[in-house]
Structures are given as structure tokens and as C-alpha cells.
Amino acid sequence: MSHHYTYRVMWSAEDGEHVGLCAEFPSSSWLAPTPAKALAGIRRVVRDSLSDMRSTGETPPEPMADRAYSGKFLVRLPPEVHRALAIRAAEEGVSLNRLVSARLASEA
């Protein structure tokens, strides 16, 4: 099901066109003059890739939308950054987890 995959369309200043991308197929892209054509193009590329994978017995990547996420992951960072974040959290009266979650959410 190619419609479950994660698509993005953005402007490519280098190419002077919109580029369609798919997170689950990072080596694939499609350039087009409009966002709609870039999206249609990358969806076609993914559909063709899935067809090729099925015909050769390859396992296609699981769509990110269909994956379950626990909400937990481990991050390793330098001790001085850990300390600075812990101090900032204490100063703001929140847990370190809440501080980091809020910062990550603002970047997403």
C-alpha cells in the first residue's frame, strides 16, 4: 500500500523545482515544476519500487504510519550538556524529561 508511506514535497533551490520524497525510501525522489506533480511522481516511484520488490521476493519497508511507537528512546549526550539541561529544568521547575520533550516537540 503505497498510500501509507510518509511523503514530503519541498522546494529544491539547487534544482529549481519541487522535489517529492518518501521517508521509507530515502534514496528515491522526483523533481517536478509543481508540488502536486512532485507528489504524484514520488508516489509512482514508490508504487513501482514496491511492485519490483514483490516480484523479486524482497520485503518492502514497513510504513512509518503503521508502526507502533512507545514514546521512549535513549539519547546519549555529553555530560556537560546533560548537566546544563538538568540545571535548566530545575530553574524552570519541570522534570528533565518534560524540558527535553518540549524542546524536541518545538523542533518537529
Q: What is the pLDDT of residues 75-84, one digit of tens each?
A: 999 999 999 9
Q: Where residue 1 falls among pLDDT bands split at 50, 70, 90? A: low
CA dihedral 87, 91, 95, 97 (to 10 degrees): -50
Listed by start position, the domains of the chain span 2-64, 69-107
Task: Give the contacts of 89 (CB within 8 A, at least 6 positions apart).
Answer: 95, 96, 98, 99
What predicted TM-score, i.e. pTM, was given to this entire model? 0.73
| pLDDT per position as a tens digit, 42-95 | 999 999 999 999 999 999 999 999 999 999 989 999 999 999 999 999 999 999
What class has domain 2-64? alpha beta
